[in-house]
Structure 1
Amino acid sequence: MDSVMLYGSRRKSVGLAYVLLAAFGLFGLHRLYLGRSLSGAGMAAITLLSIPLIWSGLGLLGFVATGTWALADALLIPSMTRETNAAALPALA
């Protein structure tokens, strides 16, 4: 029974992932929440590096890149959540 409670506490929510995407999509927090830390950190790094470069045009390119990435993630969040939750299931055995 403890393993079922552990799985319930580790289970990720599609709804919360969408809230994180809506609020902090360019920073990749939805990816960090879903266990994709490397790509989430990459999104955050691109966005943070783009802020001081916004007037040079490179910053705008960075925002377009992370914005497009975040829009694509809007379609991918349900499958990413399923994969993350399925990976937590072996912990039950």
Structure 2
Amino acid sequence: MLVMSLPAARRKSVTLAYLIWAVFGLFGLHRLYLGRNLSAAGMAAITVLSVPLIWSGLGLLGFVATSTWALADAVLIPGMAKELNGAVAAAP
């Protein structure tokens, strides 16, 4: 098994991930950028579904959930980028 790094053009920047997180954190776009497609879709779905439900209290609960998730991601972003950038390529 070989450990290979991504080419410079495909490497993911922690700085850019934080910038995306700061602007679109509740929608999970930083997770999409870092290759976490399923959790990004889940985060976006919770946020979008919470908008029409905001007055019922369920929407507020959804926003609390995605806000907590986004705050946890502030700590996890460097590790996610490192994991993606240090992708392991299997020998053919």
TM-score (norm 2): 0.89
Mapping for residues 12-31 of structure 1, pairs under 5 Å: 12-31=12-31
**Secondary structure in 1 matching 2:24:** helix
CA RMSD of aligned residues (A): 1.8
Provide the residue aligned with 1:50 in structure 2.
50
* Shift in Å, 1:90: 2.9
List gaps (5 residues or longer) in structure 1: none
* Shift in Å, 1:75: 0.3
Provide the residue aligned with 1:64 in structure 2.
64
Provide the residue aligned with 2:89 in structure 1.
90
Q: Percent identity?
A: 74
User: Runs (4+) of structure 1 moved beyond 4 Å?
Assistant: none
Greater RCO (CA < 8 Å, at least 6 residues apart): 2
List gaps (5 residues or longer) in structure 2: none
Structure ranking higher in helix proportion: 1
**Secondary structure in 2 matching 1:10:** coil
